[in-house]
Amino acid sequence: MRPGSRANPSLPDDLVEVGFVGGAYGIRGWIKVQPHGDADALLNARIWWLKPAAGAPGASTDWRVFPVNTSREHSGTVVAGSSAVPDRNVAEALRGCAVWVSRADFPEPEDDEFYWVDLIGATVVNEQQETLGTVAGLIDNGAHQILRIVDEDGAERLVPFVEVYVKSVDVAGKRIVVDWGLDY
């Protein structure tokens, strides 16, 4: 997910939305961020970009740089402090902002682990080399992830992202091979 038109040309082209500001934390201007998934990208990045939620009262379309002085996990969230946010009132005003980080700041995944953002747009073919479509997104059902694949006609297929069906993933080549028929 990349931001659309941006007024600030200094933003990296590889921004990925990783969470949202749930509110202030403490009295010294820290914020509490609810991550969309794993918190590793938030904890690894030293600069976050905050964008007000669309339709928020008084929301501008301007991005705000949040240089992270310190961050840590706290009860399923990430709390962070920045010199750019001097007190609780400023932190509270950030509630609802989307939090974006540069994809370059993500930690390297382990073998056979993938970031969802790297899979979106990949071509999916089966073992017979028939094209099923491209990855439009992923769904987490609690037990495992599911590839949401859309073909050229707009038809959608859901393929469990588990070893029994996913035979290979080439992130650099944007190609995934699955054991899945066209008629499934």
Question: What would the 3-class secondary structure string for the chain be?
Answer: CCCCCCCCCCCCCCEEEEEEEEEEECCCCEEEEEECCCCHHHHHCCEEEEECCCCCCCCCCCCEEEECCEEEEECCEEEEECCCCCCHHHHHHCCCCEEEEEHHHCCCCCCCCCCHHHHCCCEEEECCCCEEEEEEEEEECCCCEEEEEECCCCCEEEEECCCCCEEEEECCCCEEEECCCCCC
Per-residue pLDDT tens digits for 73-114: 999 999 999 999 999 999 999 999 999 999 999 999 888 889
Please tell me the predicted confidence (pLDDT) of residue 131: 97
- Interval 11-66: pLDDT, tens: 899 999 999 999 999 999 999 999 998 899 999 999 999 999 875 555 556 899 99
pLDDT value for 7 = 47
Average confidence (pLDDT) over 168-182: 96
